[in-house]
């Protein structure tokens, strides 16, 4: 029980404000790697993923946990620190897991033409996150950017759904990068 009570923000207001600013920077500049700190979540959640959960989730934010991330320790930690309800993939505002565990992408909400914002955001835990690999272009990128994505085909297909589609936040240790649905992805 003690582990559930620990690992949250020491100073919630400034820490969540800094983390939210980093999320906005990452979304505005796809491929840019930001650092997130503050949370100490139960394994296998990374510091960055835990910090995202504390910053973006609340009792009105349904969360789906995929694969090994659907553990009693993580469920209890999220419930205690955010009050976010846990749900199935198709009802989630946020889904957390490895790329393989979050498949198929068709399980998640992509919004509808009247409300494209009613889509899921995936928090994808990666083994490594580097500014190399797939070539990114589009809004927020001056010429091009690069990011070590788990694949490229799914992101190309997702971009074709615009204004619908999912958005992705990639985490590894204390690092974060974002891939909004507006970003064009090519193999490098």
Q: Whole-number mean pLDDT of the chain?
A: 95
pLDDT, tens only, 6-60: 788 888 899 999 999 999 999 999 999 999 999 999 999 999 999 999 999 999 9
Q: How far is CA 32 from CA 98, 114, 136, in A?
A: 20, 30, 11
- Between strands 167-172 and 175-179, the pairing is antiparallel
Dist. CA 168–CA 96, nearest whole Å: 10
> In this model, does residue 1 exceed pLDDT 60?
no
For residue 178, give both structure tokens: 């974002």
Higher pLDDT, 9 or 85: 85
Structural domains in the chain, CATH included, are 2-186 (3.40.50.11310)
Q: What is the pTM of this model?
A: 0.95
Dist. CA 20–CA 2, nearest whole Å: 27
Residues 6+ apart with CB under 8 A from 185: 134, 135, 136, 149, 152, 155, 156, 159, 179
pLDDT, tens only, 90-121: 999 999 999 999 999 999 999 999 999 999 99
Q: 4 pLDDT band (50/70/90 cuts)?
A: low
pLDDT, tens only, 127-156: 999 999 999 999 999 999 999 999 999 999
User: Which ranges of the chain does DSSP label H, i.e. alpha helix?
Assistant: 2-5, 12-28, 47-56, 72-82, 153-159
For residue 172, give both structure tokens: 């590894």
Q: What angle do CA 52, 132, 23 make, to 5 degrees?
A: 20
Dist. CA 183–CA 171, nearest whole Å: 18
């Amino acid at each position: 029980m003690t582990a559930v009570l620990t690992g949250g923000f020491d100073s919630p207001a400034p820490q969540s404000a800094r983390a939210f600013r980093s999320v906005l920077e990452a979304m505005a500049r796809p491929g840019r790697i930001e650092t997130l700190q503050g949370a100490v979540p139960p394994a296998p959640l990374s510091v960055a993923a835990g910090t995202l959960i504390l910053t973006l989730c609340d009792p009105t934010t349904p969360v789906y946990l995929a694969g090994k991330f659907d553990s009693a320790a993580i469920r209890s930690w999220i419930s205690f620190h955010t009050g976010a309800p846990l749900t199935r993939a198709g009802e989630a505002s946020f889904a957390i897991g490895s790329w393989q565990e979050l498949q198929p992408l068709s399980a998640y909400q992509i919004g509808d033409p009247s409300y494209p914002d009613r889509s899921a955001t995936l928090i994808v835990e990666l083994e490594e996150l580097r500014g190399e690999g797939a070539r990114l272009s589009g809004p927020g990128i001056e010429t091009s950017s690069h990011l070590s994505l788990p694949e490229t085909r799914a992101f190309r297909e997702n971009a074709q759904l615009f204004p619908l589609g999912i958005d992705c936040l990639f985490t590894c240790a204390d690092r974060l990068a974002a891939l909004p649905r507006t970003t064009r992805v090519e193999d490098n």
